[in-house]
Amino acid sequence: MRLLILGASGAGKGTQAQAIAKHFDIRHISTGDFLREEIRPSTALCRAVKRLIDRGDLVPDELMLSIVHEILEGDDFILDGFPRTFAQALALDEICGRLGSPIDMALNIHVPDDDIIQRITGRKVCPDCKAMFHIIFYPPKQAFTCDNCGGTLEQRPDDTASTVRHRLKIYHERTVPIIDFYDRQNLLISTSGTGDVEEITQNLIELLEAKLLVAKLEKKMEKGIWR
Ligand code: AP5
Ligand code: MG
């Protein structure tokens, strides 16, 4: 199964993608995590990319496409943080077409902007196992320590209130239009990302399974009618 997860910064893409990947036993690919891990500030290009990420700007499409092309090969996945622009959405279609494995469904999580600032500024991330915490909503049992692996929790450099406002502005301008791109292909599942994390996961899984079943039945009917 090949899934996308869309949503604003802090909507819970990473939190939900981790749970969905576990449920379906598929890879969770986060382009944000990939950039933070792989881009070491050892070259001028890497330093330039890090500056873009830290101030909340998008990394250029050409660079993102070369990265995604490499990491999409292989088994099933849920892709988090890509596409973010119309050009990326078109290129993803083309890459998946070439690999012979189209995207099955795009999940979209909606959270009001006012809630996002609180979520992002309180987020703590484990750099080792990528587990996500929140100082108020999902605090770790021991301050600064990951419940899963004991790693020391960190705050991302781009998690400041002013950077989040900038990331939200870019999200509305550049990424929101591609929600409609998947809706028009009947590949979109949209749900609210506000409330209990496990309930949101359960809701997404149920909507996804129902929509995949309908799509399968529709394909069978099409074949039956045309024969
Ligand atoms: P990326 O890492 O993808 O950041 P983002 O899209 O801004 O999203 P976040 O990771 O901040 O939030 P999230 O939706 O994953 O929420 P989370 O689950 O953590 O990208 C970073 C940067 O890399 C970009 O700005 C750009 O520079 C670059 N980049 C990446 N991909 C790119 C691309 N395709 N093209 C160009 N540039 C690219 O949750 C947030 C917090 O809320 C956590 O603390 C969590 O515990 C809490 N939380 C989660 N769910 C709930 C809930 N239901 N209730 C309360 N709290 C909750
Ligand atoms: Mg994330």
**Ligand 1 site-directed mutation target among 123, 136, 178, 194, most atoms within 8 Å of CB:** 123
- Cis omega (within 30 of 0) on the bond before 83? yes
Q: Which residues are catalytic?
A: 13, 84, 123, 156, 167
| 104 Cα: distance to centroid of ligand 1 (angstroms) | 22
- H helices of the chain, in order, are 13-24, 31-38, 44-54, 61-71, 86-99, 113-121, 161-170, 176-184, 197-226
Angle between helices 61-71 and 86-99 (to 10 degrees): 30
| 6 Cα: distance to centroid of ligand 2 (angstroms) | 10
Over residues 88-100, the pLDDT tens digits come to: 999 999 998 888 8
Residue 101's closest CA among 90, 109, 92?
Answer: 92
171 lines ligand 1 (CB under 6 A): no
Q: How far apart are CA 66 and CA 61, in angstroms?
A: 9
Helix (H, G, I), strand (E, B) or coil at 134: strand
Residue 92's closest CA among 2, 190, 208, 20?
Answer: 2
Report pTM.
Answer: 0.94
The two three-digit tokens of residue 197, written as one number = 């994390």
Whether residue 226 has pLDDT greater than 60: no
* Ligand at shortest distance from the CA of 125: 1
| 206 Cα: distance to centroid of ligand 1 (angstroms) | 23
Let me know: does 40 contact 143? Beta carbons within 8 Å: no
Instruction: List, in order, residues 6 or more apart from 71 with CB less than 8 Å away.
Output: 29, 34
Which phi and psi angles does 136 have, rounded to 5°?
A: -105, -50
Whether residue 51 has pLDDT greater than 80: yes
81 lines ligand 1 (CB under 6 A): yes
Over residues 143-175, the pLDDT tens digits come to: 999 999 999 999 999 999 999 999 999 999 999
